[in-house]
A and B are shown apart, each in its own frame.
Chain A
Amino acid sequence: MNISDKLINDLAPRKFGRWGVIWTWSLIIISIAGIIAYIDQVIKGQIVTNMNDYALWGIYISNFVFFVATSFVGAVTVAVLRLTKNTWRTPIVRIAEIISVASIIMAGITIMIDMGRPDRLLNLFIHGRMQSPIIWDVIIIPTYIVISLLLLYFPLLPDLALLKKHFKKTSPKLSKWYGKLSLNWTGSAAQKILQMNSIRIVAFLTIPAGFMLQTIDAWLFSTLFRVGWDSTNMGAYFISGASVAGVGALVTVVYVLRRAYKLEDYITDFHFDKMGKFLVLTCLIYLYFNINEYLIPEFTSKKEEITHMNVLVTGKYAPLFWFVNIGGLIVPIITLLFEKGRKPLPMFFVGLLVVVGSWWKRYLIVTPTLLNPFLPMEGVPEAWHHYFPSVHEWLITFATLAMALLIITILVRYLPIIPMQRTADEQEALLKIEKNKEI
């Protein structure tokens, strides 16, 4: 099992250069600004947001839904691609797992920001009612956090052992940490069997867990009567939307890391081509669900549905609606259907469009429905008929996004972005096959 030094040098985590430090500090500053804004919110109450008795949920909730959706990338990339034996996934699985972990942790934090009484958090556990969809959410999110962490950790063990050796001379302290975390990994047969078994199990487990997570998130809306939420479609809709958001985020982050760490040899155009095809597949499925969701109400023209649709298609939210659907969905599909569109740079922009489109899509799910209740909005101030997030809300939301990126940054700083041992094994296997061919 000779792992070339070149491979280790290429893939081992390196210290941040100037841009890396600037990047990290910017994220920290944004996070701190958000924390200060949150403390202000706790003191004054949620009056500092622009939410009111009608727009009772705002971007805190849509941000939360976005994080939950993005965390699906772990289940989709690692597990689904694995089950379907897509071997090209090797260089990107670690990034996918990292994004998954960061997203789901931030989802858990973000939802607590929306609570009116965060000091009563423990009531959820002491007095929880199994009949409430929120309790299902409270159960599945920590479960998925743990599963995602295990999914990240098990394949990491051999790499941690490699890094321990690699850093022994240059940074002994770091090397010691790698050693501890590698759990005395030696690559022995017994350990390998345990590890492979565990990976198989956790990869398998992450699929139903991920599906349950997305479905429960969808049921937070579809178990209610409101127009636009009361849809039997919601569970599948959210799973499909999460695939889109997750893979889009993956594409974007992969591109950035590839550029930053010069990993062109490991993540090639071939990988981008495959990811592009994957993304276009998820987008097409999502497009199908969107057509069902938006076109059919126009057909039956129920009064409440039409009011809701008009607001989206031609009314107050039209610019956002069309940006999300054309910019966030149609343009990516068209671009990715062509081979030229699946080159790395165009895919980066497509990925960005998809992620931004996904974020605003969740805003479109939450807010217009709430501002269109069954009974007319009368006898309330004019300001209550609209909702646009306040400065506090933006600061806090940006802080959560920054914190997610910060988690990714920290993990990328200390963990090999591409699985080293596995890449080495695959390269060796390839060499053997070629040798056999020659013979």
Chain B
Amino acid sequence: MSKRNKIRKMFSAIFFLILLIPVFQKLYAQDAEKNRVRLKADYVKIMDGEIYFDIGATSRVNNENIDVANITLIISNEFNDEETELGKVTTNMEGKAKFVLKSLAAIKPDSTNTYNVVISFMGNDGFKRASKSISFKDAIIKANIITKDSVNYMSATLIDASKDSLLSNQLLNVQVQRLFRPLRIGKEFNSTDENGTILVPIEEGIPGVDGILTFEVVLKESDDYGTVKAIVEAPLGIPIVDESTFDERTMWSPRNKTPLFLLIVPNLLIFGMWGIIVYLTVNLFKISKIKNQNQKNENI
């Protein structure tokens, strides 16, 4: 190619590109109009139970934080610079999603025994793509109830599963499962000692259905291990007594449980009065039926 040709070609290429700049700008501008999604994810492991990720998607639209509902997120395991898809979830009306892992064996840890998981959002017309990566190591809590000097204690040990080492100086919570939020037992933070163990006395007199209480020992949102929860059931509570008056005959119960007095006396009065009324009505008929014996006299 002659030099002149080369230069011509270069210029035409550059010219071509310049032509396309407004197109790029338009595309970029439209891209910038999309809102950014913030993904939040927590790894939760329940001993002898589910292992899952609690995922939430929010976005700042018009200076307000809103929940991003109905978006599909892909959860993948990052291993050796490769992403293996583990599954998909769609956020609900509150922008929340829960992805359950069948078991930790399904994902591969890296050399430091850390599991790396990426939650990504491919983006849609309203929102840009986003992703969030979380890393965690596998920890185990072994919890059980022991009784010393007729006092019940919750004893729990925190173990790093991969190294099988005891973890000390970690803060654990001990609580009882309740309807809305769990009820804390013991101090707010119980630090594991050099044996990775805590010993928390359980107070008396906590009510539970049939006296059974469900205790939880929780490692909350630790940077290395995520959230780990051990659940222990024990009949250490006071049985619940149903004091409701629902089954009794009261003034405020539905009509199938009216107080007996109100069933008997008013009905006696009603039937008494209406009985007399019926008798009187019968009298009216009797009067009209009486054959006229005096009619002849009347006509005279």
Min Cβ gap B274→A in Å is 7
Say yes or no: A188 contacts B294, CB within 8 Å. yes
Q: Which residues from B are CB-within-8-Å of A220?
A: none
Q: Which residues from A are CB-within-8-Å of B251?
A: 131
Q: Which residues from A are CB-within-8-Å of B274?
A: 143
A212 and B269 contact, Cβ closer than 8 Å, known pairs A131-B251, A131-B259: yes
Residues 201-234 of chain A, each 1 if its beta carbon lies under 8 Å from chain B, else 0: 1100100110010000000000000000000000
Q: Which residues from B are CB-within-8-Å of A186?
A: 290, 292, 294-295, 298
A198 and B252 contact, Cβ closer than 8 Å, known pairs A131-B258, A136-B266, A209-B273: no
Stretch at the interface among A97-105, A145-153, A259-267, A391-399: A145-153
Say yes or no: A183 contacts B254, CB within 8 Å. no
Q: Which residues from B are CB-within-8-Å of A143?
A: 270, 273-274, 277
A198 and B280 contact, Cβ closer than 8 Å, known pairs A131-B259, A136-B266, A183-B287: yes
Is B262's CB within 8 Å of the partner chain A? yes
Is A310's CB within 8 Å of the partner chain B? no
Say yes or no: A147 contacts B277, CB within 8 Å. yes
Total chain A interface residues with beta-carbon distance under 8 A: 32
**Cα A129 to Cα B254 with chains together (Å):** 7
A150 and B287 contact, Cβ closer than 8 Å, known pairs A131-B259, A184-B292, A188-B292: no
Total chain B interface residues with beta-carbon distance under 8 A: 31
Q: Which residues from B are CB-within-8-Å of A195?
A: 283, 287
Say yes or no: A139 contacts B270, CB within 8 Å. yes
Q: From DSSP, what is the main secondary structure of chain A's interface residues?
A: helix
Please pick, from A136, A139, A184, the residue contacting B290 in the complex, using a CB distance under 8 A: A184
Q: Which residues from B are CB-within-8-Å of A202?
A: 276, 280
Say yes or no: B277 contacts A150, CB within 8 Å. yes
Is A130's CB within 8 Å of the partner chain B? yes
Is B293's CB within 8 Å of the partner chain A? yes
A130 and B277 contact, Cβ closer than 8 Å, known pairs A153-B284, A188-B290: no
Q: Which residues from A are CB-within-8-Å of B277?
A: 143, 146-147, 150, 205
Q: From DSSP, what is the main secondary structure of chain B's interface residues?
A: helix
Instruction: Identify which of residues 223-279 in chain B touch chain A, using a CB-to-CB cut-off of 8 Å.
Output: 251-255, 258-259, 262-263, 266, 269-270, 273-274, 276-277, 279
Is B2's CB within 8 Å of the partner chain A? no
Q: Which residues from A are CB-within-8-Å of B292?
A: 184, 186, 188
Q: Which residues from A are CB-within-8-Å of B284?
A: 153-154, 183, 198
Is B6's CB within 8 Å of the partner chain A? no
Instruction: Identify which of residues 125-151 in chain A touch chain B, using a CB-to-CB cut-off of 8 Å.
Output: 127-131, 136, 139, 143, 146-147, 150
Is A334's CB within 8 Å of the partner chain B? no
Q: Which residues from A are CB-within-8-Å of B262?
A: 130-131
**Cα A136 to Cα B265 with chains together (Å):** 12
Please pick, from B255, B290, B295, the residue contacting A191 in the complex, using a CB distance under 8 A: B290
Q: Which residues from B are CB-within-8-Å of A153?
A: 284
Instruction: Identify which of residues 177-196 in chain A touch chain B, using a CB-to-CB cut-off of 8 Å.
Output: 183-188, 190-191, 194-195
Say yes or no: A129 contacts B288, CB within 8 Å. no
**Cα A290 to Cα B279 with chains together (Å):** 40
Q: Which residues from B are CB-within-8-Å of A146?
A: 277
Say yes or no: A139 contacts B288, CB within 8 Å. no
Q: Which residues from A are CB-within-8-Å of B290?
A: 184, 186, 188, 190-191, 194
Residue pairs across A and B with Cβ atoms less than 8 A apart, 20 shown, are A130-B255, A130-B262, A131-B258, A139-B266, A139-B270, A150-B280, A150-B281, A154-B284, A157-B287, A184-B287, A184-B289, A191-B290, A194-B286, A194-B287, A194-B290, A195-B283, A197-B283, A198-B283, A205-B273, A208-B273
Q: Which residues of B contact A (CB under 8 A)?
A: 251-255, 258-259, 262-263, 266, 269-270, 273-274, 276-277, 279-281, 283-284, 286-290, 292-295, 298
Q: Which 5 A-B pairs have the closest CB atoms?
A: A183-B288, A129-B255, A130-B262, A198-B283, A130-B258
Extra A-B contacts (7), CB below 8 Å, given A131-B258, A205-B273, A205-B277: A130-B262, A147-B277, A154-B284, A184-B289, A187-B294, A198-B280, A201-B280
